[in-house]
Structure 1
Amino acid sequence: MNALLITGTDTDAGKTVLTTALIAYWQKYCRSRSLGVMKPLQTGIGDRETYGQLFQLDQPPELLNPLHFTAPLAPPIAADLEGRQVQLEPVWQAFETLRSQRDFVLVEALGGLGSPVTHSTTVADWAWDWHLPAVLVVPVKLGAIGQAVANVALARQMKVHLRGIVLNCIRSTSIEEIENWASVSLIQRLTGLPVLGLIPHLADPTDVEKLAQIAADLDLERLIPEAL
Structure 2
Amino acid sequence: MKGAGVSRGGVRLPGVVVVTGTDTDVGKTLTTAALAAVLQAHGATVAVYKPVQTGVAAGEGGDMGEIRRLAGTNECVEGARLLLPMAPVAAAVRESKALPALADHVATVQSLATSHDHVLVEGAGGLLVELDQDGNTIADLASAFPSSAVVVVCRSGLGTLNHTLLTLEALAVRGLSAAGLVVGSWPRDPGEVELDNKEYLSRLATPLLGCLPEQASLLSGEQFRTAAPEWLGIRGR
Instruction: Report the AA paired with residue 83 of structure 1.
Output: S
Q: For residue 19 of structure 1, give the secondary structure of its aligned residue in structure 2.
A: helix
After superposition, the C-alpha distances for 1:133-168 in whole angstroms (9 at most, x for unaligned) are: 111011111111111111111111122210111123
Change (3 A) 1:204 1:103: closer
Instruction: Report the AA paired with residue 67 of structure 2.
Output: Y
The answer for unaligned runs of 5 or more in structure 2 is: 1-13, 57-61
Change (3 A) 1:130 1:72: farther
Q: Distance in 2 between matches of 1:176 and 1:161?
A: 31
Structure 1, 41-50 or 199-208: larger mean CA deviation:
199-208
Change (3 A) 1:42 1:170: farther
Q: 2:32 aligns with which of 13, 19, 22?
A: 19
Q: How does 1:49-88 map to 2 (within 5 A)?
A: 49-54=65-70, 56-59=72-75, 64-86=77-99, 87-88=101-102
Shift of 1:170: 5.6
Q: For residue 42 of structure 1, give the secondary structure of its aligned residue in structure 2.
A: coil
Show the counterpart of 2:211: 198
Shift of 1:56: 4.6
Q: Distance in 1 between matches of 2:20 and 2:117?
A: 21
Q: Distance in 1 between matches of 2:161 and 2:152?
A: 13
Instruction: Report the AA paired with residue 144 of structure 1.
Output: T
Q: Distance in 1 between matches of 2:159 and 2:22?
A: 11
Q: Distance in 2 between matches of 1:110 and 1:98?
A: 19
After superposition, the C-alpha distances for 1:116-147 in whole angstroms (9 at most, x for unaligned) are: 22342332233223433111011111111111
Shift of 1:100: 0.6
CA-atom RMSD, angstroms?
2.4
Instruction: Report the AA paired with residue 80 of structure 1.
Output: V
TM-score by length of 1: 0.82
The answer for unaligned runs of 5 or more in structure 1 is: none
Hey, which bits of structure 1, 4+ residues long, moved more than 6 A?
Answer: none
Matched positions, count: 215
Q: Distance in 2 between matches of 1:93 and 1:203?
A: 33
User: Whose RCO is larger (CA < 8 A, sep 6+)?
Assistant: 2
Show the counterpart of 1:225: 236
Structure 1, 121-130 or 90-99: larger mean CA deviation:
121-130
Show the counterpart of 2:158: 142
Show the counterpart of 1:7: 20
Q: 2:63 aligns with which of 41, 47, 50?
A: 47
